[in-house]
Amino acid sequence: MRNEVYGVLTFESTHHAISGEKVFKEAGFKFKTIPTPREITSSCGLSIRFDLKDLEDVKKNIEETNLAIKGIYRLTKVDGKYSVEITN
């Protein structure tokens, strides 16, 4: 099976997630908007999936733009099972 490791940025609200999309697009980050993984929270909402190689730039951009986030996570999928680690 294929293993995956990526970053997930969660937000305070859907409105903030949409703002996050705009900020990421303007900064030139490669990202994908996804439903918030259940492994992170059971509440519904949108999150941004990004490449962990961009983590430090993502954190810097969040600080510079005052983007309202809930958390930054490292999501690892091994053999179909997920593990979550908070990175901030």
For each of the chain's 88 residues, which pLDDT tens digit applies?
568 899 999 998 889 999 999 999 999 999 999 999 888 887 768 999 999 999 999 999 999 999 999 999 999 988 878 888 888 6
Q: Which fold has domain 4-86?
A: Alpha-Beta Plaits (3.30.70)
What interhelical angle do 55-65 and 14-27 show, nearest 10? 110
DSSP, collapsed to helix, strand or coil, labels residue 45 as: coil
Residue ranges of domains in the chain? 4-86
- What's the pLDDT at 5? 94
Tokens of 75: 């999501």
Which of the 8 DSSP states describes residue 37? Answer: P
